[in-house]
Structure 1
Amino acid sequence: MDKKTWYKWHSFAGIKLSILICFILITGTLAVISHEIDWLANPSKRVLPAVDSSQVNWSAVYKQARQRQGTYTIQSIHSPINNWFAVEVITQNEQGIRHREYYHPITGQYQGDGRWYNWQRFFRMAHRHLMMPTIYGTSIVCVMGLLMFVSLVSGFFMFPKWWKNFFRKPRTQNRKVFWNDCHRLFGLWSSWLLLVVCITGIWYLAELWGLDADFPAQQDQILTAQQAPVMPSQVVFDKALERVKDYHDMQIKAIIMPSKRWNTLIFQGQNDTLLVRDRANNVIFNPLNGDYVSRRFAQQQSLHVRISEAADPLHFGTFYGISSKVVYFIFGCVLSALAVTGTYMYGLKLVRQHRDVPVQSKQVWRLSWQGMHYGRWLSILLIVICLILTVIIFTNTVIL
């Protein structure tokens, strides 16, 4: 195909639903640092001065959480995101509403609480499935990933010898040339991130429609006389905790309490295996006596499972802590700007005025808006639905 044909593909993929694409890029960028946004919004999450988050006193935290339990059920305990974060305990009341409690990682002291639906949940849910049922919302978002992938590929074919333009300063002789150079520069420097999020987004779509990887069967149920899940006593909890530390090469990241789904005590975490979620590694114990039941480690899993587990760390940049998240956030902002500059450039092209004639911004945006055709209304409709569902979901949750 010639350059003109590639431009048509580039414009079709990037312009028609540019409003929705920009919304998904912005929410995804903010989702990368959503835990840090909650840290700023909720003082209970903060640990200042910072402590070594790898040295969590799980026993003290569990003891304090059990003392505060009351009518609530402890669902899980999660290690701090970084050294200045508190340990997070997820609880559930009799109505099935989840809640967050925060404890100091070393002393186990209770610091405060927070709602289940916080900023992190908003940005992740809005980015992942637009607050819609997962099967529909995730499919829509992943299709946007396909469009962005088409835009990425066509962009490289539009500009011969693109590799020579990484350090080319934008020209300033007129507005169209300037924004064209800026758009090209933004695209080049953020292309690696766009490629990563597009590929992982396409993978999410494939998983959603039947390619989901399953871990090998693992014993996570035990026979008990009680029908309801049994919370481990402090002695049993400490016994299982010591066995994880002494016999299993794994840094604990989360502890999943017995529930209706599984009535065992599950420790999840990380070892030397790269690019896996915490759930990929676990050690399971009997909550009645602390006896070892089973375990699994990521390095022993199939290639299919490893690819599936690598999707989240690569998509959200969590694989190297705050350092990789900052890099993802910066280039995510560049990607968001790329969507805006591309839309503006499309309008500039439609203006078709002489270079020396001043261009009115309102006219440019009006032509860009018209060029989106029915895509603009579809984008706005989906965003409005997302915001309405946000209000319904977040306000119907009882504030504990």
Structure 2
Amino acid sequence: MAKKSKKYTIRKLINDIHLWLGIGSGIILFLVCLSGTILTFEEEIKNLFTQDFKVAQSSNRRLSLEQLSESLSKEGTVTSVTLPIETGEPLQFNVKTSPKERRGTTYFVDPYSGEYQKKQKSQLDGFFLSMFKMHRWLLMDTTIGRPVVGIATIIFLILSISGIILWFPKKRRWKNFKPGFKIKFSANWKRINHDLHNTLGFYACIFLVIMSLTGLFWSFEWYRDAGSEVLGTKVFGNRGGGPKFTSALSPNARVKTFKEILEISAGELNYKGEVSITIPSTDKDVFTITKSNANSWSPVIKDKLVLDQDGTLMHKEIFRDKPLNVQIASLIKPIHMGTIYGTFSKIIYFFACLIATTLPITGTLIWINKLKAKKKKKKKVAFA
């Protein structure tokens, strides 16, 4: 009597989709996830290989920002200054050392002595730049690498969703769920490998879905446009710095000093936090002040002021007062990078990315083990 063929179920279809998409994209996903893992603590790692600029605090009075800016003007055009929360830390001035320089160079400045030092290049700058290019474009030309990474990210999103579906046991009983929450290290290596793929993938899944959904904003314009439609506001729409403001300063008006600008800013944004000031370079430019609240739930959130050169408040932008959709759109980048909650979220993202890096390896081993098991079974049937 012939055996009845097993019914091809929805679960089997999902399993096949998960398997073949994973096998087909494994190498690309491994490289993208590996580079993402390394990039999580890029700044912290690079700082280990550079010498700190120490502030020699003394009884001397702090020099004014005008004096410090004037001292730095010999290096180029001073465009902005960042004042740290702690008084013992150096000020950071941004200086355009040449007209061709787009972003400028950071200089650390001792506010007491006026001594300054250009931000040192780390020995690992080249390495992390390669990791960035790997993560975004697989070290290829952007026109080729960007869509390839984008397609791989879509596949990874499908793998994450299908994986969580397959994680659920066929019979919904607690005793069937329990094995999916732990790794049985006392078992043989095949079972351990299966548990590493199944269990760790489950714990990392929600973060991997978030990374995939946000990462696609950089890969495809159509996705960015669709996301903007869903959110009801432009994603990455504030890259140019928002609305432009021009000074309305009358010819006889007095230009405020940095100290006066800071006093006005402190009155408008009355809390402790790091302050950055964009310095006007022409008569038509204005002061732009951004400030982060030291007690905020996120270190990346900033409030913004625009002041005319005479101190007139032209614009005030408080993050918490923005509509929720605008807040979400402005946080796409820190959500993707894991900086949204500072070190805490970066640690979570590091381990999630590390798990994601192992999934193509453990998944491929599961597939190879199943192929070997099928071959052994066929041999037994043949000799039976």
2: CA distance between counterparts of 1:7 and 1:83? 58
Which residue number corresponds to residue 22 of structure 2? 14
8 Å CA contact 1:34–1:123 kept in 2: the answer is: no
Partner deviation per Cα, 1:59-102 (whole Å, 9 max, x = no partner): 76774354123142233334669999855433222242332322
Which residue of the other structure, out of 13, 20, 23, is the alignment partner of 1:5? 13
2: CA distance between counterparts of 1:74 and 1:290? 20
Partner deviation per Cα, 1:111-161 (whole Å, 9 max, x = no partner): 442359936665555434557787875554343322111001111222333
2: CA distance between counterparts of 1:345 and 1:48? 56
Which residue of the other structure, out of 110, 114, 131, is the alignment partner of 2:120? 114
Given the alignment of the two structures, is residue 311 of structure 1 paired with residue 332 of structure 2, yes or no? Answer: yes
Q: Is the deviation greater in 136-145 or in 311-320?
A: 136-145
Partner deviation per Cα, 1:343-396 (whole Å, 9 max, x = no partner): 3333333444549xxxxxxxxxxxxxxxxxxxxxxxxxxxxxxxxxxxxxxxxx
SS in 2 for 1:304: helix
SS in 2 for 1:319: coil
1: CA distance between counterparts of 2:212 and 2:336? 9
SS in 2 for 1:114: coil
Deviation at 1:241, TM superposition (A): 1.3
Which residue of the other structure, out of 151, 164, 171, is the alignment partner of 2:178? 164
Which residue number corresponds to residue 243 of structure 1? 264
**TM-score w.r.t. length of structure 2:** 0.71
Quick one: structure 1 residues 58 and 315, their matched pair in 2 at CA, closer, same or farther if it must change by over 3 Å? farther
1: CA distance between counterparts of 2:96 and 2:330? 27
2: CA distance between counterparts of 1:136 and 1:84? 47
Given the alignment of the two structures, is residue 338 of structure 1 paired with residue 330 of structure 2, yes or no? Answer: no
Quick one: structure 1 residues 171 and 38, their matched pair in 2 at CA, closer, same or farther if it must change by over 3 Å? closer
Q: How does 1:10-159 map to 2 (within 5 A)?
A: 10-44=18-52, 63-78=67-82, 87-97=91-101, 98-103=104-109, 109-115=115-121, 118=125, 123-124=131-132, 126-129=134-137, 138-159=146-167
8 Å CA contact 1:42–1:114 kept in 2: the answer is: yes
Deviation at 1:197, TM superposition (A): 0.8
Aligned residues with identical type, % of pairs: 19
Aligned length: 339
1: CA distance between counterparts of 2:147 and 2:277? 31
Which residue number corresponds to residue 365 of structure 1? none
Which residue number corresponds to residue 346 of structure 2? 325
Which amino acid in 1 is paired with 2:289? Answer: F
1: CA distance between counterparts of 2:158 and 2:75? 53
Which residue of the other structure, out of 277, 294, 299, is the alignment partner of 2:315? 294
1: CA distance between counterparts of 2:78 and 2:13? 58
Which residue number corresponds to residue 201 of structure 1? 215
Deviation at 1:36, TM superposition (A): 0.4
Quick one: structure 1 residues 337 and 302, their matched pair in 2 at CA, closer, same or farther if it must change by over 3 Å? same
Which residue number corresponds to residue 393 of structure 1? none
SS in 2 for 1:17: helix
- Higher CA-based Rg: 2
Quick one: structure 1 residues 326 and 312, their matched pair in 2 at CA, closer, same or farther if it must change by over 3 Å? same
Quick one: structure 1 residues 75 and 338, their matched pair in 2 at CA, closer, same or farther if it must change by over 3 Å? farther
Quick one: structure 1 residues 253 and 346, their matched pair in 2 at CA, closer, same or farther if it must change by over 3 Å? farther
1: CA distance between counterparts of 2:55 and 2:17? 52
8 Å CA contact 1:285–1:293 kept in 2: the answer is: yes
Which amino acid in 1 is paired with 2:263? Answer: E
SS in 2 for 1:41: coil
Quick one: structure 1 residues 320 and 158, their matched pair in 2 at CA, closer, same or farther if it must change by over 3 Å? closer
SS in 2 for 1:283: strand
SS in 2 for 1:190: helix
1: CA distance between counterparts of 2:62 and 2:201? 45
SS in 2 for 1:294: strand
1: CA distance between counterparts of 2:352 and 2:62? 36
Which residue number corresponds to residue 197 of structure 2? 183
Which amino acid in 2 is paired with 1:2? Answer: I
Quick one: structure 1 residues 174 and 111, their matched pair in 2 at CA, closer, same or farther if it must change by over 3 Å? same
2: CA distance between counterparts of 1:254 and 1:207? 33
Which amino acid in 1 is paired with 2:107? Answer: E
8 Å CA contact 2:201–2:356 kept in 1: the answer is: yes
Deviation at 1:24, TM superposition (A): 1.6
Which amino acid in 2 is paired with 1:255? Answer: I
1: CA distance between counterparts of 2:206 and 2:268? 40
8 Å CA contact 2:68–2:111 kept in 1: the answer is: no
Which amino acid in 2 is paired with 1:194? Answer: L
Quick one: structure 1 residues 197 and 84, their matched pair in 2 at CA, closer, same or farther if it must change by over 3 Å? farther
2: CA distance between counterparts of 1:191 and 1:82? 38
**TM-score w.r.t. length of structure 1:** 0.69
2: CA distance between counterparts of 1:313 and 1:263? 29
- Indicate the RMSD between aligned Cα atoms, in angstroms: 4.2
SS in 1 for 2:159: helix
